[in-house]
């Protein structure tokens, strides 16, 4: 069975665009895993301090502040476009996908990498519940952050993108310790950070249940859907 790493190794891209890039982590992964990697642009609606990090200083990667639903690039500008764990942050995901396809060259590749919420172990469900709680607080503060999609919902979205030759793989790793102290400590601090953003009693009570779940059930990352599509030459 073909793996994600094997698929990425077959892709050769001179020009790349990563949408909703955040810190740029996914671009770093692509730079290491693609068969060849020319020059990449990462765009996000908010600038990130990580863009100025030394880890990017020697790499052919630049960053721009930009709205994903209104990309400031000409049609057919990129050999590869990608979005990683950000589609559920988009106010209009279909418009974002349409824009990404617009700027993709015929014959180019589209990568979606996104966690989903169904068919998870109890430890993975902790990740889903945390993410949904984060989303409620972000949404209350005016940040678009809906619950991550189910697997079927993601597939319906990518199939509406007018791309062809989709290959769908799951990225699942249950080898880690669900009670890893370092991970649980990071998540506890994350909960503290989000609690500082809300005074809603229901959300505060929900955080108590989430802390108990971390201690009793543990945490493992939710399964990710890796979807690779191609824009047919026309």
pLDDT, tens digit (0-9, with 9 covering 90-100), for 12-47: 999 999 999 999 999 999 999 999 999 999 999 999
pLDDT over 80 at 1, yes or no: no
Q: Regarding beta strands 164-171 and 224-230, do their DSSP bridges make them parallel or antiparallel, or are they unpaired?
A: antiparallel
pLDDT tens by residue, 51-69:
999 999 899 999 999 999 9
Buried b (16+ CB within 10 A) or exposed e, 60-87: ebebeebebbebebeeebbbbbbbbbbb
List the beta strands (DSSP E) in the chain. Answer: 12-19, 36-44, 61-65, 78-84, 104-115, 164-171, 224-230
Q: Which two tokens stand for residue 223?
A: 């399964």
* Per-residue pLDDT reduced to its tens digit, 67-104: 999 999 999 999 999 999 999 999 999 999 999 999 99
> For residue 233, what pLDDT is reported?
62
pTM, two decimals, is 0.93
Strand partners, 63: 42
Query: How high is the pLDDT of residue 230?
Result: 93
> Has residue 214 got a pLDDT over 60?
yes
pLDDT bracket for residue 165 (50, 70, 90): confident
* Average predicted confidence (pLDDT) for the chain: 94
30 and 59 in contact (C-beta within 8 Å)?
Answer: no
Of 225, 62, 68, 50, the residue nearest 152 (C-alpha): 225
Task: Using CB atoms within 10 Å of the CB of residue 171, give its burial: 0 to 12 exposed, 13 to 18 middle, 19+ buried.
Answer: middle
Average pLDDT for 97-116: 96
Rg (CA), the chain: 18
Q: Give me the percent of the chain exceeding a pLDDT of 70.
A: 99
d(CA 27, CA 18): 7
DSSP string, 24-82: SHHHHHHHHHSSEEEEEEEEESS--GGGGSHHHHTSSEEEEE--TTS--S-TT-EEEEE
pLDDT classification of 158: cutoffs 50, 70, 90: confident
Residue 164 banded pLDDT, cuts 50, 70, 90: confident
Which band of pLDDT confidence, cut at 50, 70 and 90, is reported for residue 129?
very high
pLDDT at position 218: 98
pLDDT single digits (tens) 172-206: 999 999 999 999 999 999 999 999 999 999 999 99
In the DSSP assignment, the letter for residue 105 is: E
pLDDT at 140 over 80: yes
Name the CATH superfamily housing domain 4-230: Vaccinia Virus protein VP39 (3.40.50.150)
Looking at residue 160, its pLDDT comes to: 77
Q: How far apart are CA 201 and CA 159, in angstroms?
A: 40
Residue spans of the domains in the chain: they are 4-230
Beta bridge partners of residue 19, listed in sequence order: 43, 83
């Amino acid at each position: 069975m073909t793996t994600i790493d094997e698929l990425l190794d077959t892709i050769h891209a001179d020009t790349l665009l990563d949408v909703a890039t955040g810190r740029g982590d996914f671009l770093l992964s692509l730079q290491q895993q693609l068969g060849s990697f020319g020059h990449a642009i990462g765009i996000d609606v908010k600038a990130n301090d990580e863009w100025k990090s030394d880890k990017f200083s020697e790499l052919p990667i630049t960053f721009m502040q930009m709205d994903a639903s209104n990309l400031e690039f000409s049609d057919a500008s990129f050999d590869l476009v990608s979005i990683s764990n950000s589609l559920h942050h988009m106010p209009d995901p279909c418009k974002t996908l349409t824009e990404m396809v617009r700027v993709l060259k015929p014959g180019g590749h589209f990568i979606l990498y996104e966690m989903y919420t169904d068919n998870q172990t109890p430890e993975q469900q902790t990740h889903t519940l945390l993410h949904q709680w984060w989303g409620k607080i972000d949404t209350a503060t005016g940040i678009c952050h809906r619950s991550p999609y189910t697997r079927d919902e993601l597939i319906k979205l990518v199939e509406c993108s007018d791309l062809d030759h989709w290959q769908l793989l799951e990225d699942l790793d249950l080898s880690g310790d669900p009670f890893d102290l370092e991970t649980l400590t990071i998540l506890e601090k994350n909960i503290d950070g989000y609690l500082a953003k809300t005074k809603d009693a229901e959300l505060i009570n929900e955080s108590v249940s989430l802390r108990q779940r971390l201690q009793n059930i543990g945490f493992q990352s939710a399964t990710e859907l890796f979807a690779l599509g191609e824009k047919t030459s026309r």
